[in-house]
Every structure is written in structure tokens, then in C-alpha cells.
């Protein structure tokens, strides 16, 4: 199975979500071998993984792969090779305003495409102009892709009424894209959990001597478990 985090707009949480979903308890318990695949030529996850290895962290049955090519055939071959050895692939796709090569690839070859998106007029119009036409075209050519695309409301205020946000998205979205029944709240812990190659649960556990920080960080761990559950529920 292939799950992608896609959004042509930069900085919406794709890489953060890719890392933490791959290491969520939900995913670790359900898949025997998980491949975290970075398609971003910038290689942010690659550096993070190198730190992880240098720190000697246990990655259980998660492996990391970086595909930096901008040739569709090379990307396709790389993904097929990884898919033949793993139950689940999680693709971290770069934010792309031009060419959109990786975005198009991920939309066409994934079983589930998760689109983290903020509730802002700017993000909504960027989505309508950039990503939506691409998905619309794909669904027209391949109707069986309907049901693969999900918005994840991101950077939501942790106090906000999440049902309202989800209803809002479902109202404005065309019928071939649904909103996941969950949100990805904005929390400062997401800005620094990844030091020394950690994922969010490792970071929370590293704070266990400070009860308050630990409880605060565990809210983010819970966010991720709920998100993983919502993503994979669609496959059962
Ligand atoms: N839920 C969140 N709350 C607050 N900050 C977040 C959250 N998720 C991610 N961030 C921070 O926002 C920034 C962008 O996140 P991230 O790199 O995951 O986005 P991205 O979509 O992968 O960006 P790009 O398009 O450049 O690849 C990072 O500094 C990250 O630490
Ligand atoms: Mg990224």
C-alpha cells in the first residue's frame, strides 16, 4: 500500500506528518515492513535519518529511502523496487509550485493521498489553482481514483471546534475529495521534536522527568495516532 502526503504549497506539515505517521504505534502494529520514502530533492528527511542512525536509535521495521531523481521513470522504478519489499510506503512529497512532477506521480500511484491544508483563504485559493485541477484531471481519466484523496485540516487552533472545520471542508470540496474526520493541530512541539533524529513519541518519552512538558507533548503523540487511525480506516 502507498500513502502520500501531498500539497503543492510549501510548509503545510507533509514531512512532519510522514515521519510521525511512519512511527505511529497504529502503523507499527499493523504493518510488518514500512518504508518512509522522501521524494524531496532537498533531503531534509535524509539528514534527519542520518542523525537517527548516528544516535543509534532503533527504527524497528521502518526503513528509509531517498529518491532524488526528477525523471518520472527513475522515480517509478525506485518506488516499484521499494514496494516489492514493503507492506506500506509513506511518501513525503515536496511542495511544488512549478512542474509538479512528484505531486503528479504521487497522486497517480498512491492508494491514499493525504493533503494537509490550512483553513485560510490563501491556502484555499492556492489549492483551487494548483492541486485541484491536477486531481480533477486524474479522476476524470481514472474514475477508480475517486475515494483516494483526503484533505487533512492542518495547523488548526487546538481549541477550535474540529467538527465545524471538517464540516466546512466537506461543504466546499468537490465530491471526489473528502475531508478526514480528524485535524492536525498547531503545536510548538512539532517545531523541535525532530532533534537528534527523534520522532514525536521518542521526544515525548525523553521529557518524561518533566511531567508538564511530557503531558503537553503527548497531546501531539495522540494527534498523530488519531490521524493514522483516520487514514487507514479508509482501507478496512
Ligand atoms: N502541527 C504543527 N504545528 C506547528 N508547527 C508545525 C506543525 N507541523 C509542522 N510544523 C512546522 O512547520 C514547518 C513546516 O513543516 P514541514 O517541513 O513538515 O512542512 P512541509 O509541508 O514538509 O514543507 P515543504 O513543502 O517545504 O516540504 C516546520 O518548521 C515544522 O516544524
Ligand atoms: Mg517537506
* Confidence at residue 231, expressed as pLDDT on a 0 to 100 scale: 97
The residue nearest atom 14 of ligand 1, judged by CA position, is 11
Q: 190 CB under 6 A from ligand 1?
A: yes
Q: 5 CB under 6 A from ligand 1?
A: no
Give the separation between CA 138 and CA 177, rounded to whole angstroms.
12
* Confidence at residue 220, expressed as pLDDT on a 0 to 100 scale: 98
Hey, how many other C-beta atoms are within 10 angstroms of the C-beta on 60?
Answer: 10
* Confidence at residue 234, expressed as pLDDT on a 0 to 100 scale: 63
pLDDT tens for the chain, residues 1 to 236:
999 999 999 999 999 999 999 999 999 999 999 999 999 888 999 999 999 999 999 999 999 999 999 899 999 999 999 999 999 999 999 998 888 999 999 999 999 999 999 989 899 999 999 999 999 999 999 999 999 999 999 999 999 999 999 999 999 999 999 999 999 999 999 999 999 999 999 999 999 999 999 999 999 999 999 999 999 986 65
Hey, how many other C-beta atoms are within 10 angstroms of the C-beta on 129?
Answer: 11
Whole-number Å distance, alpha carbon 55 to ligand 1 midpoint, is: 23
* Confidence at residue 98, expressed as pLDDT on a 0 to 100 scale: 80
Q: 12 CB under 6 A from ligand 1?
A: yes
Q: Which residue, among 196, 182, 197, 194, has the nearest Cα to 26 in the 3D structure?
A: 182
Q: Among 4, 14, 16, 92, which residue has the most ligand 1 atoms within 8 Å of its CB, making it the best to mutate?
A: 16
Q: 158 CB under 6 A from ligand 1?
A: no
pTM of the complete model beyond 0.95 = yes
16: enclosing H helix or E strand? helix 14-22
Query: Is residue 184 within 8 Å of residue 116, measured between CB atoms?
Result: yes
* Confidence at residue 99, expressed as pLDDT on a 0 to 100 scale: 85
Q: Relative to the alpha carbon of 157, which ligand is closest?
A: 1
Q: 186 CB under 6 A from ligand 1?
A: yes
* Confidence at residue 96, expressed as pLDDT on a 0 to 100 scale: 86
3-state class of 156 per DSSP?
strand
Which residues are 114's β-sheet partners?
A: 5, 150
Q: Relative to the alpha carbon of 118, which ligand is closest?
A: 1
Q: 236 CB under 6 A from ligand 1?
A: no
Whole-number Å distance, alpha carbon 45 to ligand 2 midpoint, is: 8
Q: Give residue limits of the domains in the chain.
A: 2-233
CATH architecture of the domain with residue range 2-233: 3-Layer(aba) Sandwich (3.40)
Whole-number Å distance, alpha carbon 142 to ligand 1 midpoint, is: 31
Using only the alpha carbons of the chain, give its radius of gyration: 17
Amino acid at each position: 500500500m502507498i500513502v502520500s502526503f501531498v500539497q503543492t504549497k510549501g510548509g503545510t506539515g507533509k514531512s512532519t506528518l510522514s515521519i510521525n505517521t511512519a512511527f505511529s504505534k497504529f502503523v507499527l502494529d499493523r504493518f510488518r515492513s514500512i518504508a518512509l520514502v522522501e521524494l524531496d530533492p532537498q533531503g531534509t528527511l535524509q539528514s534527519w535519518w542520518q542523525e537517527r542512525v548516528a544516535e543509534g536509535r532503533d527504527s524497528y521495521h521502518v526503513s528509509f529511502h531517498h529518491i532524488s531523481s526528477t525523471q518520472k521513470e527513475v522515480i517509478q522504478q525506485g518506488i516499484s523496487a521499494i514496494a516489492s519489499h514493503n507492506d506500506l510506503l509513506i511518501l513525503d512529497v515536496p511542495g511544488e509550485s512549478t512542474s509538479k512532477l512528484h505531486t503528479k506521480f504521487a497522486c497517480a500511484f498512491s492508494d491514499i493521498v493525504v493533503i494537509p491544508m490550512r483553513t485560510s483563504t490563501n491556502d484555499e485559493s492556492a489549492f483551487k489553482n494548483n492541486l485541484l485541477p491536477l486531481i480533477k484531471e486524474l479522476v476524470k481519466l481514472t474514475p477508480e481514483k475517486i475515494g483516494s484523496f483526503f484533505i487533512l485540516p492542518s495547523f488548526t487552533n487546538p481549541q477550535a471546534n474540529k467538527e465545524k472545520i471538517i464540516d466546512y471542508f466537506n461543504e466546499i470540496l468537490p465530491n471526489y475529495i473528502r475531508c478526514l474526520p480528524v485535524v492536525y493541530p498547531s503545536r510548538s512541539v512539532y517545531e523541535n521534536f525532530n532533534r537528534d533524529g527523534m520522532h514525536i513519541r521518542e521526544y515525548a518519552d525523553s521529557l518524561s522527568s518533566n511531567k508538564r512538558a511530557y503531558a503537553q507533548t503527548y497531546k501531539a503523540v495522540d494527534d498523530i495516532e488519531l490521524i493514522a487511525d483516520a487514514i487507514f480506516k479508509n482501507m478496512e
